[in-house]
Structure formats: C-alpha cells, structure tokens
Chain A
Amino acid sequence: MTSGFLAMGGYAGYVWPCIGFSLATLAWNLWSAQRASRAALERARRSIAMADA
C-alpha cells in the first residue's frame, strides 16, 4: 500500500519533485521573511543607538 502510494501510479518522478519544490518555496519564503525581519530590527536598533550616542 505504501509503495503503491509512493509510486504514484508510475508518476513518482514527477509528482514528488513538484511537492518538494512547493514545500521548498514555502520554507524559503518563511525563512527569508524572518531573516529580513530580524535584519530590519537590528538595523533600527543600530540607528537608534547611533542617534543616542
């Protein structure tokens, strides 16, 4: 049953890479958005510290 599911009726070589690309797109979006958010916060903190100094 599991091997039949994984085989995807002979289209496994097409279906699973598509799922992989899509999950990678979702993961990249989440990672890069959080990275941008952290970098912006750090930049803002630096600007405030420079203005206070």
Chain B
Amino acid sequence: MWTWFYRLASPPSVYALSGRLAPWLLAAAACLIAFGLVDGLAFAPPDYQQGDAFRIVYVHAPSAWLSTFAYMLMAVAGAIALIWRIKIGHAVAAAAAPIGASFTLCTLLSGSLWGKPMWGTFWAWDPRLTSELILLFLYFGVMSLRQAFEDPARGDRAAALLAIVGVVNIPIIKFSVTWWNSLHQGATVARFGKPTMVASMLVPLLVMFAGFMLFFVGVLCVRLRAEVLNRERLATWVREAVAT
C-alpha cells in the first residue's frame, strides 16, 4: 500500500493526474455554483427575521468553510512533508495558501457587509471575526515565510512549521460562538442534531458548499501543476511533460 501511495504522490503522477482532473472539477463547480446561486437568490424564501439579507449566507458560509478547510489541508500537507519527507506535501501547502487566503478575505468582506444591516456595524472585535482575521494573517505569514529564505527547502520547512502551529486557531474559529458571548450566530448546518434551516433554504446552501469545494480542488490542481513544474524543472520527466 505504501509503495502505491509513494508512486501516486510522486511529482510526475501528481502533475499528470491534476492536469486530467482540473477541467472536470472546474466545469462541475461552475454548474453547481450557477445552480446554487440562482436557487438561493431567486427561489429560496426570505428569512423571517433577516429578510433577504440572509441570502448572503450562500456565498459567506461556503467561503468561510473553505478558508478553514484550506488551512487544515495546508497544515496536514506540511506535516506529511516534514514527517515522511514526501516533498509533494510542500507543493500542496504552497498551492493551497493563496486560495485559502483569498477565501478568508472574501469571508471577512461578505461577513462585514452582512454585519452592517444585522448588527449595525461593519466590524466588531467579536471572537469569531477576530479569529478569522488572525487566520488571514496566518496565511500571509505562511506565504511570506516561504519566500523569505534563499534556500527554498528551508522556506518550505519554516512555512510548514508556522502552518502547523497556527492550527490552534481553527478550533477557536469553530467554537468561538459557543465558548464566548458572540454577535455571530451559531452553527445552522453543521450541528449534531438536525440543521435549523428548512429544505428550500438548505438545498441551495449545500449545493454552494459542493460547488465551492469542487472549485477549490480544481484550482488547487492547476496551482499544484505550476508548483510541481517550478520545483522539478530540472528533472528528466519534465522534458517529456513539457514537450506534450
């Protein structure tokens, strides 16, 4: 099994596989996001308290989920690269960082625009908002640290260490709404019991989650190919891959 895993995680395999997967993932993501947006914006009923402002959830919640998922992926990939010296781990972490950072920024901007009509302010030093802002700074820190060393291998190791240390922020983001008094609403979908949304509101949200997730994996594949090429450009397999 380990032999199979090492072969799959080899740069030529990852380069070829991600090239084959990316167009399909991105096409499926486009269909799901288009359907989810139309269904959520035009056909889902307005919320009884928030009115039509609640429709921001269809872009805010999937962005927020991706912002933490991308960070976890980055940290796990970095840990795998540090522990088992599988170098594709550093490439995955480097590819995931800018995508995660962009979705964190999107989460903060959309949350801020949602906060104004609901809380009366664009920003509050609330535990959920503050921990999400710290996540954005962690992404910037990891990306900057990777570039800060002349030796790319040292940059990779330092970035992986920072990413692993920063994982402590993920449960803080997740549970901040239950641990502390927060302006931010609690979980509506990811609850141990039943979700608190009716099906006509929930279905477009789940479709948007799936669409954003596929989009993330699709863009990750494209970025991963670039990372692999940058890191392996003197390898013999690149000569054949570039020629085709």
Main secondary structure of the interface of B (DSSP, over half): helix
**Total of A-B residue pairs, C-beta within 8 Å:** 102
Q: Does A36 contact B52, Cβ atoms closer than 8 Å? A: no
Closest chain B CB from A43 CB (angstroms): 6
- Using Cβ atoms and an 8 Å threshold, which residues of chain B touch A45? 242
B209 within 8 A of A: no
B117 within 8 A of A: yes
Q: Does A22 contact B63, Cβ atoms closer than 8 Å? A: yes
In the complex, how many residues of chain B place their beta carbon closer than 8 angstroms to a beta carbon of chain A? 40
Cβ-closest chain A residue relative to B109: A21
- Using Cβ atoms and an 8 Å threshold, which residues of chain B touch A36? 222-223, 226
- Using Cβ atoms and an 8 Å threshold, which residues of chain B touch A28? 102
Q: Does A9 contact B51, Cβ atoms closer than 8 Å? A: yes
Interface residues of A (CB under 8 A from B): 5, 8-11, 14-15, 17-19, 21-22, 25-26, 28-30, 32-34, 36-37, 39-41, 43-45, 47-48, 51
13 chain-A/chain-B pairs, Cβ below 8 angstroms? A8-B53, A9-B46, A11-B51, A14-B117, A15-B53, A15-B55, A19-B37, A33-B219, A33-B223, A40-B226, A40-B229, A40-B233, A48-B238
- In the assembled complex, the Cα of A22 lies from the Cα of B103 at a distance in Å of 8
Q: Does B41 contact A29, Cβ atoms closer than 8 Å? A: no
Q: Does B226 contact A26, Cβ atoms closer than 8 Å? A: no
Q: Does B59 contact A22, Cβ atoms closer than 8 Å? A: yes
- In the assembled complex, the Cα of A36 lies from the Cα of B42 at a distance in Å of 36
Q: Does B51 contact A10, Cβ atoms closer than 8 Å? A: yes
Cβ-closest chain A residue relative to B208: A22
